[in-house]
Amino acid sequence: MNPRGEAPSYQVWALPGFPEVQDGDNLAKLVADAATARGLPGLAHGDILLVTSKIVSKAEGRIVEAADREAAIDAETVRVVARRGPTRIVETRHGFVMAAAGVDASNTPAGTVLLLPEDPDASARRIRDGLREVLGVDVGVVVTDTFGRPWRNGLTDVAIGAAGVRVLDDLRGGTDTYGNPLSATVVATADELAAAGDLVKGKADGLPVAVVRGLPHVVSSADEAGPGPRENGRGENGPRENGPRENGRGESGRGEGVGQQGEDGGHGGGGGEGGRALVRPAADDMFRLGTSEAVREAVLLRRTVREFTEEPVDGAAVRRAVAAAVTAPAPHHTTPWRFVLLESAESRTRLLDAMRDAWIADLRGDGFSEESVAKRIRRGDVLRKAPYLVVPCLVMDGSHTYPDERRNAAEREMFVVAAGAGVQNFLVALAGERLGSAWVSSTMFCRDVVRGVLGLPSGWDPMGAVAVGHAAVSPPARGDRSAEAFVTVR
C-alpha cells in the first residue's frame, strides 16, 4: 500500500496510429503527435515511454543492404555463444547476448536487413530530450527489443537502452518483510517495464510505442528536483493528486507525482546509467556459452600457468576436477588413476626438498658444474610457488601379462595413454573451476623418492606433478595451429 492507503497500481497503453518510420524522422515529434492525439491521455511528468528498437533503427538509418543475412550477423557479432543448426546465439558489439545479433529481415524491403541502434542509450536520451523540448514533460524512455531466455520457453521484450529510468533496483542491504537480509536481490526494473509494454504493443499489431503511468519512482528527474509542482506539456497548471502534474495535452494525468533523481545523474539530465547497466560482462556470466561451445572452449581454456597468487585453493574444486579426470577412457574397464593431493605446506616442502636432492645427485653424476646444477634446479620453482600440488599416479591393476616383452610393453603403453587422458581431463576441469595449473614431469624421474616421502604403495607410479592455484597473470594468447599440419588422410 502507498502512504495514502491505496493499492499499488499502474496503467499501460499503446499509442495507435503511429506512422511508418523513415530514415531521418524525428521520433520525439512522432511520439508526441501520437501521444496527444484526440482521445488519448497525453504524456505527463513521470510517465515512461517503451519504444520498440525497430523504429529507432529505421529513424537512424540502420537499414543496410544485405543479400546474405548471415553475413550481416557475422559483422555484428563479437562472440558466438551457442549454435544449433542455422540458429546462432551471439554477443553483439553492445554486449547483448541474443539470437542473430538482433539482425532483422522482417518489415524491411527485400534485400535489406535492420540492425540494432548503434547506441540504444543515446537513442533513448535523444527521444527523452526531444519530448521535453516539444511537450515540456520529463519522462523516462526505454528502448526495447525481443529476446529469448535461458531455461524458459517463449520470447519477451527487454530493455536495450534507457534514459531517465532507474534500470536496476538494488535491494541488497535491506530486509524482507520477515527481517531477513537481502544479499543478492537486484531487480531488473527496465526489463520489467519492457515486458509490460509488450503486452499492449504486441508483436504484429503495428504498435511500436507504449506508455506506462503510475510508476514515477523509477523515473529520474531532468533537473534533479524532487516531488513538487510541475507544469504540463502546454505550460498549464491543473488538478493533481500529489502535486501538480499534467499530460502533454493540458489534461490532468494520473499517478503519484514525479520520481526521484537517478543515483548517478547520467546523461540527458539525470538519465541514470542507461541500459548498459543491465548487461553482465561475459567474464562474470556463469552461463556464457552453450553446452557444445563450452566443451570446446574448456579444452582451449587449459593453459600452463607458472605464477600464482596467494589466494587459497578450494579443495572441493580440486576434488571435482578429479571426478572429471576419472571419466577418461581406460583399457579393460580398469581405473588406472590415483591422485595424491598435497594440501599442507609441510607435505609439499618435504616432497620438493627430497626431489631436489635427488635431482642434484643426478645432475652431479652427469658431470654438470655447480652453476649449471643451480640453474637447472630453479626450473622447479613453479612447484614451490604453487599453493597446492597434486601428484597423479598410474596403477596397473587389471592389466594383462604376456609371455613376450613386445606385448607387455604395448600393455603398459595402453595404461600410460589412459593416465595421460586422465591428467588432461584433470587440467581441463581445473580450468573450468577458474584454477590455473602447470603439469611438470619431475616426479617421473624419482619415483622411488616420491613413493617413499608420500608413503605410497610400490605399484603407484607418479606421472609428474601438477601445480594448482589462481593465476597471477593471464597467460599470453594462444597461437593458432592449423589441424592440417597434424593430419594425414589415407
Q: Kindly report, residue by residue over 114-139, the tens digit of the pLDDT.
A: 999 999 999 999 999 999 999 999 99
Q: Using CA atoms, how far apart are residues 80 and 199, in angstroms rounded to an integer?
A: 30
Q: Which helix (H) or strand (E) holds 64?
A: strand 63-65
DSSP state for residue 438 in the 8-state scheme: E
Residue 197 backbone phi and psi in degrees, to 5: -65, -35
Residue 239 to residue 223: CA distance in whole angstroms: 22
pLDDT band at 413 (very low <50, low <70, confident <90, very high): very high
2 versus 273: the higher-pLDDT residue is: 273
Share of the chain above pLDDT 90, in %: 71
3 state SS of 211: strand
Opening angle at CA 178, ends 175 and 183, nearest 5 = 30
Question: Is the confidence at residue 294, as pLDDT, over 90?
Answer: no
pLDDT of residue 85: 84
Q: Is 85 helix (H, G, I), strand (E, B) or coil?
A: coil
pTM of the entire predicted model: 0.65
Q: What was the pLDDT predicted at 198?
A: 94
What's the rounded Cα separation, in Å, for the pair 15 and 32?
10
pLDDT, tens digit, 9 for 90 and up, residues 139-170: 999 999 999 988 899 999 999 999 999 999 99
Q: Residue holding cell 510517465?
A: 47
Q: 3-state SS of the chain: helix, strand, coil percent to 5? A: 35, 20, 45
Q: 259 vs 277, which has greater pLDDT? A: 277
Q: What is the pLDDT of residue 258?
A: 29
Q: Are 175 and 122 in contact (CB under 8 A)?
A: no
Confidence of residue 298 (pLDDT cuts 50, 70, 90): confident
Our separate counts of H helices and E strands in the chain read 13, 17
For 368-404, how does the pLDDT look when each residue is reduced to its tens digit (9 = 90+)? 999 999 999 988 889 999 999 999 999 999 999 999 9
Phi/psi at 438 (5° precision): -145, 120
| pLDDT of 225 higher than 60 | no
What residues have CB less than 8 Å from 350, skipping those under 6 apart?
453
